[in-house]
Structure 1
Amino acid sequence: MTEDPRVKELFTLKTIAETLNQSNDLPVMLNTVLEKLLELTGLSAGWVYIIDGYLQYECVADYNLPPGLLHKDKLPMRCESCWCMDRYWDRRLNNAVNILHCKRLENAVEYNWGDTNGITHHATVPLGSGDRQFGLLNVAAPGKSHFSEEELALLQAVAFQIGSAIERMRLYTAEQLRAEQFARLGQFSRALGAATGAAMETEALSALIVTLIKEHLDWPFAALIQASPNGNYILRAVHGNDRTETPNSRLRFPDKHWIREVSREGHPAAASNEEVAQLSELEGIRMLLPSSLLAAAAVSIPLVNASGGILLIGYDQADKSSSRENREVIEALAEHVALAIDSSLLERNRRELALVEERNRLARDLHDSVSQMLFSLSMTAKGVESLLADNQQDKALASIRDIQSLSQDAQKEMRTLIMQLRPAGLEAGLLSALQNYGNKLGLQVHTQAAGIRELPRPVVEALWRIGQEALNNVLKHAGTSEAAVTLVLNSMTAVLRISDKGIGITKKQRLAAASISLGLATMKERTEALGGQFTLTSKYRNGTTIEVFIPLTP
């Protein structure tokens, strides 16, 4: 190769650029680049520090270190500060510097750690990209105490290349982390959605949320804090030190406390070390706050929902709280948590309304059937009294027979309503219970089953209520005394079909019924509350079929 310095410099930069593009592993890349750089420049030793913060550094690459710096597994490269790092932290090291006394080499000589191979000084070059700095590149050679301006310029150009490569790798790693975190968030959301399909009490839901955060996102600490109307806060649930607690204790914060500020201002905020340490003073958190968290950081996020709560997340590494990727994930997490809490609250309200509607329906049925029969019994009994007073024995006996018939009808109607209130007989199985219920209505019910598996109790009760309503509709509207009930089960679904061969209904009647029929609306609501699908098909004079499809957890 030509000895022209300019050509050698361009060749060196080209070789370094090619080397930087061959790996996405930072230590491997830096070690390879360092070796190439020393080979091309005729220097003998070098090392690279990546610096994350004050006194937070790591020697990630080195080549041909003298024995004095290899002492006790490179202990001199891992302990204490040095003059070049002090200048780096003081922001006084912005360009390649021509020779610095090396405290690490001087210590090796002073404490007899080993030979320094004649190396007493080194050149130091900051590694950066734009206004961001990542660390230091140090190079040296035995007896070399001066670098020319051309050599420093070349080292500076190489440092810019290395800094850009580090920035690229960090962006790549951050994007990978972001993708992984959002994948975990998806798993968290699915697990939370599966568990909260049914209404849950606040305490149980809060404990589930913080436990799933640890399970799927692997953050060491999570807490749910709810604002109360009097301006105080309630600690609903905490997960830390590998256990979950639901203290439900009241928390009182001063006006300027950082958690109160987050709640008031309505946007996420990172806590300082001092603010994280304040958490250890709170009852209910003290025993669950990991000791590693006190040297790290935490982030609090307001929950935009009916509870007005705060989600508190603790990190085991201080830099995570300021990471853009983590902040995006944690803000999305807060949205999922707020939605789950609101959905659970709405589900509880829906069920309460359904109970009220069920009671109202039973009240109407009692009024329309049993109440009228009892009124007839009362009036007939009064008539018997008059007939007996007038010695009209034959007419009195006929009225008593009417009383017996009315009382039997009232008793039958009352038993039907009681059965609707309490699903007795489900112990023998859903199909058997529906068959018995149909028989008591005077229907001949044919049952058929396909597949075997245990159904969750909420699913069994929902299918039971839907089956009851469907059989009632057969009795009242189908004009037939026969019905068929089919239950198909597999690992993923449960399908219940109730069909008859009655008079059926026209499309116009079906549309009208869908808008005014409380029974059809209730069946559909029960199905959709379990994430299922309700279908009614019917043809005039060709029967009606109701099909309920319920997804199941494997």
Structure 2
Amino acid sequence: MSVESRFEEIGILKEIAELLNEGTDTKDVLAGVLNRLLQVTGLQTGWIFLIDESGAFQLAADEALPPALASENKWRMCQGTCWCVNKYNNHQLNKASNIMECKRIEEVIEEKAGETCGLTHHATVPLRAGKERFGILNIGSPNKTHFEKNELALLEAVAYQIGTALKRIKLTQREQETALVAERNRLARDLHDSVNQLLFSLSLTARAGMEMTKNDEIKQTFSYMQDLSQEALGEMRALIWQLRPLGLENGLVSALRSYADMLGLSIETKVTGAANIPGKVEEALWRIGQEALGNCKKHSQATEAFLFFHTSKDGVTMTIKDKGCGFHYEEHLDIPSLGLKNMNSRTAALNGIFQLKSKPGSGTEIQIHIPF
């Protein structure tokens, strides 16, 4: 390697280090690093799978995939199984490794499903930071069936940098979530101490004015003011609850029970299992529970709701149902309201399953299962 080439390689490695040190968006960082890594190695194709604790993978970045793998929105890369992911999940992949052949490419060739551009093999490197694992980096090139030790060593060094950056991004996101919770709590306190108290004072003033006057028209005006202030107080209490649920420190079920009481709903609860729920999951279930109980109050014409909560080491299942008026819904139909769509979106964001059942006259039931 010439001196100029060596300097170019060092420059690209420096770019990779800077990108990993400064980036905050996972997919942008991984795409940029993969592009630079292929430049420095002279290889042509690469992709990165992020793999969660349950073993589920997602294609997070790719570069120059052959047409057979890139076609139809890269569906072959986004589903199915492959040897490298299986080895990773079985804890058999602890360092940079030569993979004999790519299973996805093999299937394409067998099915004659498209052009592979000579790509048959790839190296696989786990992405780690200490004992924490994040996924795998795959690198290949047409007609290349073996990777030398120095090539694997370079890939392993970059993969370790990627793992460290992913850990940093994860910690940064956690700090941002903590700061968001703190800001919500501050705003809830401010609303309670200022706007809430002003509305309460307005209600008392309107009541006093109504008792002091003998003029029927003025009495009616004060009565209307009192009704409006009471309604605004109710809306404000609900908003404060959404920002900072009183009782969540005592558990999610306790908080939802208190929220139902605040809405004027009688709620029956049943809890089974025991496990620590991750904060992100608890937050999502709290928001979903709020929406579901709010729907019971506003739309079901029922005064009772039922909450069933089951936790295990693998995940949590929450069911909320009522015996209200219900509505027509079938699974193949689009979810009918924005609130229900939000519940579904929150569940899907955590790789969960959202189920909705409702019939006119038979009430409504939602069930959420979120793995962890």
Partner residue in 2 for 1:354: none
Q: Percent identity?
A: 33
Whether the 8 Å contact between 2:13 and 2:40 is mirrored in structure 1 is: no
Partner residue in 2 for 1:153: 153
Partner residue in 2 for 1:391: none
Give, in angstroms, the shift of residue 252 of structure 1: 9.9
Deviations 1:138-161 (A, max 9, x none): 100111111122211111111001
Residue from 257, 260, 284 that aligns with 1:225: 257
1:24 is paired with a residue whose SS is coil
Point out where structure 2 has 5 or more consecutive residues left out of the alignment: 204-231, 246-251, 259-264, 269-285, 328-338, 353-365
Partner residue in 1 for 2:359: none
Amino acid at match of 1:24: T
Deviations 1:227-255 (A, max 9, x none): xxxxxx963996324835457759799xx
Whether the 8 Å contact between 1:67 and 1:116 is mirrored in structure 2 is: yes
Give, in angstroms, the shift of residue 185 of structure 1: 3.0
Counterparts of 1:191 and 1:106, CA distance in 2: 62
Whether the 8 Å contact between 1:16 and 1:37 is mirrored in structure 2 is: yes
1:101 is paired with a residue whose SS is coil
Partner residue in 1 for 2:317: 276
Amino acid at match of 1:149: K
Q: 1:170 to 1:291 in 2, by over 3 A?
A: closer
Deviates more, 1:191-200 or 1:3-12: 3-12
Give, in angstroms, the shift of residue 91 of structure 1: 1.9
Counterparts of 1:104 and 1:43, CA distance in 2: 19
Give, in angstroms, the shift of residue 99 of structure 1: 2.0
Deviates more, 1:72-81 or 1:136-145: 72-81
Give, in angstroms, the shift of residue 14 of structure 1: 3.6
Larger RCO (CA under 8 A, 6+ residues apart): 2
Whether the 8 Å contact between 2:317 and 2:370 is mirrored in structure 1 is: no
Q: 1:242 to 1:281 in 2, by over 3 A?
A: closer
Point out where structure 1 has 5 or more consecutive residues left out of the alignment: 227-232, 259-269, 299-313, 323-554
Whether the 8 Å contact between 2:50 and 2:136 is mirrored in structure 1 is: yes
1:224 is paired with a residue whose SS is helix
Deviations 1:28-81 (A, max 9, x none): 222221122111112111111222343533222211111111111222121222
Partner residue in 1 for 2:64: 64
2:52 is paired with a residue whose SS is strand
Counterparts of 1:22 and 1:240, CA distance in 2: 38
Q: 1:71 to 1:252 in 2, by over 3 A?
A: closer
Deviations 1:421-470 (A, max 9, x none): xxxxxxxxxxxxxxxxxxxxxxxxxxxxxxxxxxxxxxxxxxxxxxxxxx
Give, in angstroms, the shift of residue 118 of structure 1: 0.2
Greater C-alpha radius of gyration: 1
Q: 1:169 to 1:292 in 2, by over 3 A?
A: closer
Deviations 1:94-130 (A, max 9, x none): 1111124212212322333321110011111111111
Partner residue in 1 for 2:29: 29
Partner residue in 1 for 2:273: none
Q: 1:224 to 1:297 in 2, by over 3 A?
A: farther
Amino acid at match of 1:235: I
Counterparts of 1:195 and 1:297, CA distance in 2: 38
Indicate yes or no: 2:179 matched with 1:179. Answer: yes
Q: 1:251 to 1:57 in 2, by over 3 A?
A: closer
Partner residue in 1 for 2:163: 163
List aligned pairs for 1:55-454, cutoff 5 A.
56-194=56-194, 196-197=196-197, 198=200, 209=237, 212-214=240-242, 224-225=256-257, 235=267, 239-241=290-292, 243-245=294-296, 249=304, 275-277=316-318, 279-280=319-320, 290=343, 318=370
Q: 1:31 to 1:178 in 2, by over 3 A?
A: same
Q: 1:291 to 1:32 in 2, by over 3 A?
A: closer
Whether the 8 Å contact between 2:293 and 2:305 is mirrored in structure 1 is: no
Whether the 8 Å contact between 1:210 and 1:244 is mirrored in structure 2 is: no
Counterparts of 2:242 and 2:110, CA distance in 1: 50
Counterparts of 1:52 and 1:94, CA distance in 2: 16
1:240 is paired with a residue whose SS is helix
Q: 1:112 to 1:40 in 2, by over 3 A?
A: same
Counterparts of 2:127 and 2:41, CA distance in 1: 18
1:116 is paired with a residue whose SS is coil
Q: 1:209 to 1:53 in 2, by over 3 A?
A: farther
Deviations 1:329-386 (A, max 9, x none): xxxxxxxxxxxxxxxxxxxxxxxxxxxxxxxxxxxxxxxxxxxxxxxxxxxxxxxxxx
Q: 1:5 to 1:188 in 2, by over 3 A?
A: same
- Number of residue pairs the alignment of both structures matches: 279
Give, in angstroms, the shift of residue 193 of structure 1: 4.2
Q: 1:34 to 1:251 in 2, by over 3 A?
A: closer
Q: 1:149 to 1:79 in 2, by over 3 A?
A: same
Counterparts of 1:8 and 1:125, CA distance in 2: 24
| TM-score, scaled relative to structure 2 | 0.59
Whether the 8 Å contact between 1:23 and 1:29 is mirrored in structure 2 is: yes
Q: 1:280 to 1:171 in 2, by over 3 A?
A: same
Whether the 8 Å contact between 1:45 and 1:63 is mirrored in structure 2 is: yes
2:134 is paired with a residue whose SS is strand
Partner residue in 1 for 2:276: none
Counterparts of 1:297 and 1:143, CA distance in 2: 38
Indicate yes or no: 2:86 matched with 1:54. Answer: no
1:185 is paired with a residue whose SS is helix
Counterparts of 1:100 and 1:193, CA distance in 2: 67
Partner residue in 1 for 2:227: none
Whether the 8 Å contact between 1:292 and 1:316 is mirrored in structure 2 is: no
